[in-house]
Amino acid sequence: MKLSSISLKLIKAPLKRPFKTHLGTVSDREVIIVEAIDEDGLVGYGEAVPFTSPWYTEETTKTCFHMLDDFLIPLTLASQIGHPDELPNLWSGIRRNAMAKSALEQAILDLYAKQKGVYLGRLFGGERSEVAAGVVIASNDIEDAMRQIEDFSGSGYQRYKIKINPQNDLDFLAEIRRAYPDIPLMADANSAYTLDDIPHLQKLDDFKLMMIEQPLGHDDIVEHSFLQKQLQTPICLDESINSFHDAKSALSLQSCGVINIKMAKVGGWMEAVRIHDLCLGNDVPVWCGGMIEFGISRAHNIALASLKGFTIPGDISSSSRYWDGDIIDPEVIVENGMIQVPDKAGIGFAINEKRLKELTTYSKLYK
Ligand code: OSB
Ligand code: MG
């Protein structure tokens, strides 16, 4: 395929409201926009979504920029890529750094799909014309959390995910269930518990949760297998799933009933689709995880969630959930709990160049 230059743009914006978990608070969001450009001036877009500190994964904005700048982009521009499916092999000498790889792979795949004139989701067999939307409540104040659920329910979100920890879980879940006995509800613990908490975690079985996400260690698969046998509520793994191999291990050990696939965290589209196919073949439902992202990453997620195995509403919310002005045009809209899957070439959304420029703090071009 034709690829003539690549550019990186650092962009930054405040969140509408802080995103709070027991691990810390995110108030401002900085990401790296990757543009892959061909000789005809067609542009493919990717978004690298680590945080500015390594609280959720080991990558940060700076490590990601470094990996792209010093390794991934020079290697990619120096080789003649025939087809994007050569990329995992081309980059195999660069260990991990999944988010850096994912963003560059996204940009090249978007460009490839645009050159072919086909919607990116279609390229991977995606068939849905709309995907179900879910939203995350990340607050340390129950009244604030209740207000957010009330506000979001106007858009008809089909799944609410509440961040929990051992201090607030019973109070939060009891309050939500008192007001909303039947909403589709799940909880994300971001590794706030240990196996010593089994009796406590068993109390959560009373709240009719769709699942509990990542209760134990961020790098654990074995202990979750033990815990799952003691809980009625299905476990969903997030942090522990960084590759196809991790997913295979989790399924072999029956460590979870559901997998949250985050394209960025597993290194891109191709690894995400391999995990999807594995889960589909084993009747394990998957959903698409979020990274408090801007519109480019959101657009890639919508395309991914159009694949058959994504049967549970994920963390894909409207652009306005986080932003006063997103970088895509049109913005992502949630209506009656659904998001329309576009059918235009590539990611299917145009870029809001004016907004992108406003948010850009630094850029660099590679030829
Ligand atoms: O654990 O799923 C998580 C956001 C940032 C880091 C980790 C997580 C999240 C989310 C998704 O919960 C939030 C969203 O993108 O709407
Ligand atoms: Mg999570």
For the chain, give every residue range classified as CATH 3.30.390.10: 5-119+351-361
Give the dihedral sign, CA 141/146/151/157. positive
For the chain, give every residue range classified as CATH 3.20.20.120: 122-346
Phi first, then psi: give them for residue 88, nearest 5 degrees.
-55, -40
SS (H, E, C) 221-244: CHHHHHHHCCCCCCEEECCCCCCH
User: What is the CATH code for 5-119+351-361?
Assistant: 3.30.390.10
Give me the sheet containing 286-288, strands edge to edge.
135-137, 160-163, 185-188, 212-213, 235-237, 258-261, 286-288
Q: Whose CA is nearest to atom 8 of ligand 1?
A: 291
pLDDT in tens, the chain (367 residues): 989 999 999 999 999 999 999 999 999 999 999 999 999 999 999 999 999 999 999 999 999 999 999 999 999 999 989 999 999 999 999 999 999 999 999 999 999 999 999 999 999 999 999 999 999 999 999 999 999 999 999 999 999 999 999 999 999 999 999 999 999 999 999 999 999 999 999 999 999 999 999 999 999 999 999 999 999 999 999 999 999 999 999 999 999 999 999 999 999 999 999 999 999 999 999 999 999 999 999 999 999 999 999 999 999 999 999 999 999 999 999 999 999 999 999 999 999 999 999 999 999 999 9
**Residue 357 catalytic?**
no
- Spatial neighbors of 199 by CB under 8 A, at least 6 apart, are none
Q: How many CB atoms lie within 10 A of CB 166?
A: 15
**Residue 163 catalytic?**
yes
Centre of ligand 2 to C-alpha 366, Å, is: 34
- Residues paired with residue 46 on neighbouring β-strands, in sequence order: 34
Which residue intervals of 124-188 are DSSP H helices? Answer: 142-153, 169-179
Instruction: Give the pLDDT confidence score for residue 57 in this predicted structure.
Output: 97
Are residues 339 and 333 in contact, defined by beta-carbon separation less than 8 angstroms?
yes
Q: What residue has token string 């490839």? A: 112
Centre of ligand 2 to C-alpha 214, Å, is: 6
Centre of ligand 2 to C-alpha 80, Å, is: 37
Q: Whose CA is nearest to atom 4 of ligand 1?
A: 291
Instruction: Give the span between the Cα atoms of 300 and 337, in whole angstroms.
Output: 19
Instruction: Give the span between the Cα atoms of 272 and 199, in whole angstroms.
Output: 34
Instruction: Give the span between the Cα atoms of 247 and 274, in whole angstroms.
Output: 10
Residues 275, 279, 280: CA angle, nearest 5 degrees: 115
User: Which one, of 264, 208, 207, lies nearest residue 64 by Cα?
Assistant: 264
Q: What angle do the packed helices 98-116 and 269-281 form, to 10 degrees?
A: 90
> What kind and span of H or E run contains 161?
strand 160-163
Instruction: Give the pLDDT confidence score for residue 155 in this predicted structure.
Output: 97
Cβ of 56 closer than 6 Å to ligand 1, yes or no, is yes
Give me the catalytic one of 20, 163, 229, 367: 163
Q: Whose CA is nearest to atom 5 of ligand 1?
A: 291
- State which fold the 122-346 domain adopts: TIM Barrel (3.20.20)
Instruction: Give the pLDDT confidence score for residue 2 in this predicted structure.
Output: 87
